[in-house]
Amino acid sequence: MRDKIHLLIDSEALSAKTTRELQGAKLTIDAALNNMSQGLVMFDSSARLIVCNQQYLELYRLSSETVRPGCTFREILNQRVGAGSLLISDLDQHIAEILAGVARGADFTKIVTLRDGRIICAVNHPMTAGGWVATLEDITEEKRAEDRIVHAAHHDALTGLPNRILFAEQLEQALKRVRRGERLSVLYIDLDHLKRINDTLGHPIGDKLLKGVARRLLSCVRDIDTVARLSGDEFAVVQSSIDQPSQAAALALRIREAIRAPFDLDGHQVVVDISIGISIAPDDGTELEELIKAADIALYEAKNTGRGIYCFFEADMNERMQARGKLEHDLRSALANGEFELFYQPIFNLPNNKISAFEALLRWRHPERGLILPAEFISVAEDMGLIIPLGEWVLSTACAEAATWPSEINVSVNVSPLQLTNNNLINVVARAISSAGISASRLEIEITESVFFEKTFANISTMKKLHEFGVRLVIDDFGTGYSSPGYLLSFPFSKIKIDRRFITGLSDNKESRAIVRALANLARDLGMIVTAEGVETSQQLEQIRILGCTQMQGYLFSRPLPATEIHRLFLSKIKNIGRAA
């Protein structure tokens, strides 16, 4: 049929009307081909070009002057190589693959990336009479969108690190090598007190901190290792191909040193610490779940031991974690069940031999375990977020109890850094004082020096408001941690309490005596009261008098006692101590 048409076209007898109709049909076909959104090319059974549209030429930056019907497939590919739109190392192999696909008689697709980064998808349709038609499309944006979706599914949006899904995949791959004789370590890393930073400096600063932590973690590991962000403040590292567990310990120390260096975040100097749990494969397991669980348990141990340390997994840690879980479970219902109570320890005024205040000390009367001291559960309550409602209960109860005492006796209440950063603390204090009907000056708020170490504006602002309200502010356990006499100059404190370790060492440690004397002299010059904590012997009592302390607190006078026994101290013991002194 095609030959007959050609004969008719070439015939001089062909009418002008028929010629115009055929030319119009050709123009219509050309218009259709060149207005396609895809490129199109057709080759005959000899791999010679039959037709191609303008989009095909533009995709590969080819010229219509050189790419004409009758060109071979190889010639067109050579022109593409010259135009830089074909990146292959073996042209013969590429041609052979295409022709083999055509010979199979089924549609097949090839996706190639060009030198300029564009991605072209070619769908090849073999024809029954031989040859093939190919449609081609630039799928660069579509492919990049797919890549972004895949990347987002496997990476943390904030830090760009692998997320929990990709971390598990990469750890699984590393464990295959462990089963062939290699060793690796998994480090679970928890950023201590991120919530406090978010609450005081804001989440944008917290986010910048997390990105800074991610960069520093990456700087500590090798290319063969993996760093991932698992959750808000939890990161993980897979340390591949190690010989000894000591290499994991060395990495943990290197990471901790890197993270503890101050971060400069929008003018804020932020210092954080980390806790690290470590598991070793194959020692602690060769399966993903057991190795992750071991690292998580070790991290749990590190955080409960005091934070800022690393721990290797040990078998008995699981029992301790379960005990902690039971403690958390019981804590959730303890406040509602009325299981907490306050004990009170007197603070004795040395110049007039009278009680000046009682410190309220929290106790948990557990229905099964009996009386539990705060050292065992306060940090757990802080981690769980229960310290805020529990602290409100302590303030309210202590002020209500103080209302039953003589008006010259104050009540002292410990407030954790988490409470201090809570925006509602001022209202809680005001409500407790108002409800009890006592003056604000009878309430002493004891804080630790860590609030100054963080140097947050929120802490300073809260303390100023408390001071303006009339509450007395006390630095507790002075001389521990990052203590500095400069703190005494930064705020009008009413009192400092010298840590008990200095009082214990007074008898045989001249350095302790020098520190106590210096602090007492400084506090006196600043108009502050100095309380010696942990006084247990008459000798210590005599020494703190000589060194200039104005108050004492400790077992020599009284242990912490329930509120029901306080009145007995007023009537009897205070007179006896007064005579003895």
The DSSP bridge partners found for residue 475 are 447, 496
Phi, psi (rounded to 5 degrees) for 46: -95, 10
Confidence at residue 456, expressed as pLDDT on a 0 to 100 scale = 60
- Which whole-number Å values give the CA distances from 470 to 416, 422, 438, 452, 566, in the listed order? 20, 19, 12, 21, 25
Domain ranges for the chain: 1-30, 36-143, 159-315, 331-573
Token reading at 187: 């480090």
Confidence at residue 484, expressed as pLDDT on a 0 to 100 scale = 57
Q: Identify the CATH homologous superfamily for domain 331-573.
A: EAL domain (3.20.20.450)
Confidence at residue 330, expressed as pLDDT on a 0 to 100 scale = 94
Burial of 316 (0-12, 13-18, 19+ CB in 10 A): exposed
350/548 Cα distance (integer angstroms)? 10
CATH number of the domain at 36-143, please? Answer: 3.30.450.20
Confidence at residue 348, expressed as pLDDT on a 0 to 100 scale = 92
Fold identical between 36-143 and 159-315?
A: no
Helix and strand element counts for the chain (H, E): 24, 22
As a dihedral over the C-alpha atoms of residue 221, residue 226, residue 230, residue 235, rounded to 10 degrees, the angle is -10
533/127 Cα distance (integer angstroms)? 96
- Which whole-number Å values give the CA distances from 505 to 27, 249, 408, 535, 538, in the listed order? 105, 35, 32, 11, 14
Confidence at residue 215, expressed as pLDDT on a 0 to 100 scale = 96
Please answer whether residues 318 and 374 qualify as being in contact, where contact means their C-beta atoms are separated by less than 8 angstroms.
no
243/294 Cα distance (integer angstroms)? 19
pLDDT tens, residue order, the chain (581 aa): 334 334 433 444 445 444 454 455 455 555 556 667 789 999 999 999 999 999 999 889 898 888 899 999 999 999 988 888 887 778 899 899 999 999 999 999 988 888 888 899 999 999 988 999 999 999 888 888 888 888 888 999 999 999 999 999 999 999 999 989 999 999 999 998 788 888 888 899 999 999 999 999 999 999 999 999 998 899 999 999 999 999 999 999 999 999 999 999 988 888 899 999 999 999 999 999 999 999 999 998 898 777 789 999 988 887 887 888 899 899 999 999 999 999 999 999 999 888 999 999 999 999 999 999 998 899 889 888 899 999 999 999 999 999 999 999 999 999 988 888 888 899 999 999 999 999 999 999 999 877 765 546 677 788 889 999 999 999 888 766 555 566 667 677 899 999 888 998 888 888 888 989 988 888 888 889 999 999 999 999 999 999 999 999 999 989 999 998 887 776 455 444 444 44
Q: Give which of 448, 502, 450 is closest to 475, Cα–Cα.
A: 448
User: Helix H segments across 125-244?
Assistant: 140-154, 164-178, 194-201, 203-220
CATH of 159-315 among 3.90.1150.10, 3.30.230.10, 3.40.50.150, 3.30.70.270: 3.30.70.270
Q: What is the 3-class SS of 443-499, one letter each residue?
A: EEEEECCHHHHHCCHHHHHHHHHHHHHCCEEEEEEECCCCCCCHHHHHCCCCEEEEC
Confidence at residue 9, expressed as pLDDT on a 0 to 100 scale = 39
Interior/surface letters 88-98, b for 16+ CB within 10 angstroms, e for the rest:
eeeeeebbeeb
Burial of 352 (0-12, 13-18, 19+ CB in 10 A): exposed
* Cα 527–chain centre separation: 43
In sequence order, the 6+-apart residues with CB closer than 8 A to the CB of 40 are 33, 51, 52, 53, 55, 56, 133, 134, 135, 136
